[in-house]
């Protein structure tokens, strides 16, 4: 395993895009100066338009579709409908990930590969029958359904191709994003849904996938998928057209039996997908972006953390919202699972003056590590806030080690 840079700690890391580093000879040193011990580096990622404020050549990057930022052997993909496209906006350096990772390791930083599995509009448009389908038989083209065998095979092969390219010493850790369903919330181009004033519950109902694979899974879990579809349509339309508010949870909206079957189906699919990924990534640490609400859909998979039987060495929980809710989320996760819990803190969302305080309270709540989002997108003031927060994290880690040694 790569040695951590002197003075840094493996307690923390920062998210970075490959385009933040490739073509900027000073980027890796600038990131190392933040004090973090590791970098979560984009290896397979969805479409985005991003600022690159520190790059010497460009100020924005427009990634028009999901892509793999590493070259891979095409033979294992022969005959498959889904395969990760190359980034057409970045053809000058074919191995974007490897180039960036080498620069980061040169600064003593540990590299964690950031792999987005089921979020891909280009792939969804290519194979619409493999995307999430709501109760109104409308497809979400950006969201591949993990219950579909071809999607599960694609996600597993994507990770396997990455691991075949880079050995464990180079990249000891994989962070998995979108390892389940994306739902209604994740949005589309030029989103025009806010004015309908949908409740959280209605959005959750519109996120229920009822493609053929999910219908079969829900039926196997003990519920009638057509009855579920009818209930979703009836309840959502009552809110959209009649103004009545949907009850607050899936269990309240659908009843315990139907909601329970839906959530068991989802958890089972996610668990199996993580096992499949682990099988093609032997010796790697797997970090899973998760949400402790089993009804949640999105880049952070909704799970019953206390009953999760999949493969994950640690769980990464997003802590971007109200600080009290973020602290409660970490506390609940620590109580629910024996796995380490990592708090994902956005320096882009929080006021710079409050980042260090948030990190302190998340560590006090039981978070084992911190990941900062995002070192490439943050303004100078926000990067300075990240440095201050990480200095606190290092001091807290030293104090904890001292206390443990004295005991």
Q: Are strands 341-346 and 369-373 parallel, antiparallel or unpaired?
A: parallel
For residue 112, being part of any structural domain is answered with yes
Number of other residues whose CB lies within 10 A of the CB of residue 47: 16
For residue 210, being part of any structural domain is answered with no
How many domains is the chain partitioned into structurally? 1
Q: State the average pLDDT for the chain.
A: 93
For residue 200, being part of any structural domain is answered with no
Domain of 290 in residue numbering reads as 9-194+283-406
Q: Indicate whether 1 pLDDT > 60.
A: no
Partners of 174 in the β-ladder:
113, 286
Q: Report residue 188's pLDDT band, with 50, 70 and 90 as the boundaries.
A: low
Number of other residues whose CB lies within 10 A of the CB of residue 338: 7
pLDDT at res. 53: 94
Task: Return d(Cα 104, Cα 39) in angstroms, integer.
Answer: 8
Instruction: Note the pLDDT tens digit of each residue in 323-370.
Output: 999 999 999 999 999 999 999 999 998 999 999 999 999 999 999 999
Task: Return d(Cα 28, Cα 38) in angstroms, integer.
Answer: 11
For residue 160, being part of any structural domain is answered with yes
Task: Return d(Cα 317, Cα 301) in angstroms, integer.
Answer: 10
For residue 181, being part of any structural domain is answered with yes
Structure tokens at 30: 């600038």
For residue 255, being part of any structural domain is answered with no
For residue 373, being part of any structural domain is answered with yes
What is the rounded average pLDDT of the residues 239-246? 86
Residue 56 and residue 24 in contact, taking contact as beta carbons nearer than 8 Å: yes
For residue 206, being part of any structural domain is answered with no
CATH number, position 28: 3.20.20.80
Measured between alpha carbons, how far is residue 178 from residues 27, 118, 152, 339, 361 in Å?
Answer: 27, 5, 12, 19, 27
pLDDT at res. 330: 98
Instruction: Note the pLDDT tens digit of each residue in 376-398.
Output: 999 999 999 999 999 988 887 77
Measured between alpha carbons, how far is residue 239 from residues 115, 206, 215, 248, 270 in Å?
Answer: 37, 12, 24, 13, 30
């Amino acid at each position: 395993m790569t040695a951590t840079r002197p003075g840094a700690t493996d307690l923390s890391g920062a998210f970075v895009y490959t385009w933040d580093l490739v073509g900027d000879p000073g980027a890796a040193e600038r990131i190392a100066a933040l004090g973090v011990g590791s970098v979560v580096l984009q290896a397979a990622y969805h479409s985005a338009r991003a600022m690159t404020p520190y790059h010497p050549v460009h100020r924005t990057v427009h990634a028009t579709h999901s892509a793999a930022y590493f070259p891979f052997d095409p033979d294992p993909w022969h005959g498959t409908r889904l395969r990760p496209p190359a980034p057409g906006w970045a053809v000058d350096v074919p191995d974007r990930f490897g180039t960036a990772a080498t620069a980061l390791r040169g600064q003593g930083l540990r590299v964690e590969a950031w792999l987005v599995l089921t979020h891909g509009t280009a792939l969804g448009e290519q194979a619409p029958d493999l995307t999430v389908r709501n109760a109104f038989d409308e497809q979400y083209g950006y969201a591949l359904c993990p219950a579909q065998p071809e999607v599960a095979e694609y996600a597993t092969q994507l990770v396997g191709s990455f691991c075949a390219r880079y050995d464990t010493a180079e990249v000891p850790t994989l962070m998995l994003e979108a390892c389940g369903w994306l739902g209604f919330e994740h949005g589309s181009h030029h989103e025009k849904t806010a004015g309908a004033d949908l409740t959280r519950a209605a959005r959750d109902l519109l996120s229920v996938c009822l493609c053929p694979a999910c219908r079969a899974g829900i039926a196997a879990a003990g519920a009638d998928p057509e009855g579920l579809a009818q209930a979703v349509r009836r309840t959502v339309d009552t809110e959209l057209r009649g103004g009545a508010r949907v009850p607050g949870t899936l269990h309240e909206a659908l009843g315990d039996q139907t909601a329970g079957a839906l959530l068991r189906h989802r958890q089972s699919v996610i668990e199996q997908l993580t096992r499949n990924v682990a099988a093609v990534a032997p010796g790697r640490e797997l970090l899973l972006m998760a949400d402790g609400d089993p009804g949640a859909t999105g880049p952070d998979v909704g799970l019953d953390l206390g009953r999760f039987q999949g493969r994950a060495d640690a769980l990464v929980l997003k802590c971007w919202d109200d600080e009290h809710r973020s602290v409660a989320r970490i506390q609940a996760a620590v109580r629910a699972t024996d796995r380490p819990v990592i708090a994902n803190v956005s320096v882009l969302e929080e006021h710079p003056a409050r980042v260090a305080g948030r990190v302190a309270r998340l560590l006090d709540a039981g978070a084992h590590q911190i990941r900062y989002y995002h070192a490439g997108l943050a303004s100078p003031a926000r990067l300075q806030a990240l440095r201050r927060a990480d200095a606190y994290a290092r001091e807290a880690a030293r104090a904890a080690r001292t206390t443990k040694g004295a005991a």
